[in-house]
Amino acid sequence: MAWSSVTAWSVQLPLTRGTTVFNIQPFDRAGNVFPSSEPTVTATYNGTPDEATNSIVFSELMFDPAVQGAEYIELYNRSTSTAFDLSGWQVNGLDYTFPAGSFIRRGRTSCS
């Protein structure tokens, strides 16, 4: 999410083919829900998304760092048009599952 002013913001989320409905729940500064203002946004994507298996690659692997506990992997999304939801993805041999809300945008990296 990116704020462009005090009252304007934008968010980028990957879409699957077809129609996706987003329910937005706004909060005030104190963390209270604005009950009278819960907009719904409907987005329709009719394109053909790239396949994750052809787009997401390992771009870096730190398996034996000088500092203990500093291991990581880096994924790169080679797609020029598709973002991917990594929620629930697991990497064989690692004790790690990407948490809900883990996305990788097109042409971007993600570390864990």
Backbone dihedral angles phi then psi of residue 63, each to the nearest 5 degrees = -105, -15
User: Integer distance in angstroms from the first to the last C-alpha of the chain?
Assistant: 20
Question: Higher confidence at residue 42 or residue 1?
Answer: 42
Element (H, E) at 45: strand 40-45
pLDDT of residue 78: 93
pTM passes above 0.95: no
Segments forming the whole domain that contains residue 30: 15-47
The residues with which 74 forms a beta bridge, in sequence order, are 60, 111
Q: Are residues 62 and 90 in the same domain?
A: yes
Q: Are residues 58 and 72 in the same domain?
A: yes
Say how many domains are in the chain: 2
Q: Are residues 27 and 71 in the same domain?
A: no
Answer yes or no: are the C-beta atoms of 81 and 112 closer than 8 Å: no
**Per the domain annotation, does 29 fall within a domain?**
yes
Q: Are residues 40 and 74 in the same domain?
A: no
**Per the domain annotation, does 32 fall within a domain?**
yes
**Per the domain annotation, does 4 fall within a domain?**
no
Question: Higher confidence at residue 18 or residue 11?
Answer: 18
Q: Are residues 43 and 85 in the same domain?
A: no
User: How far is Cα 92 from Cα 94, in angstroms, rounded to an integer?
Assistant: 6
Q: Are residues 104 and 67 in the same domain?
A: yes
Taking only the tens place, the pLDDT of each residue in 44-86 is 989 888 899 899 999 888 888 889 888 888 999 999 888 888 9
Other C-beta atoms within 10 Å of 45: how many? 13
Q: Are residues 73 and 86 in the same domain?
A: yes
Mean pLDDT of the chain: 85
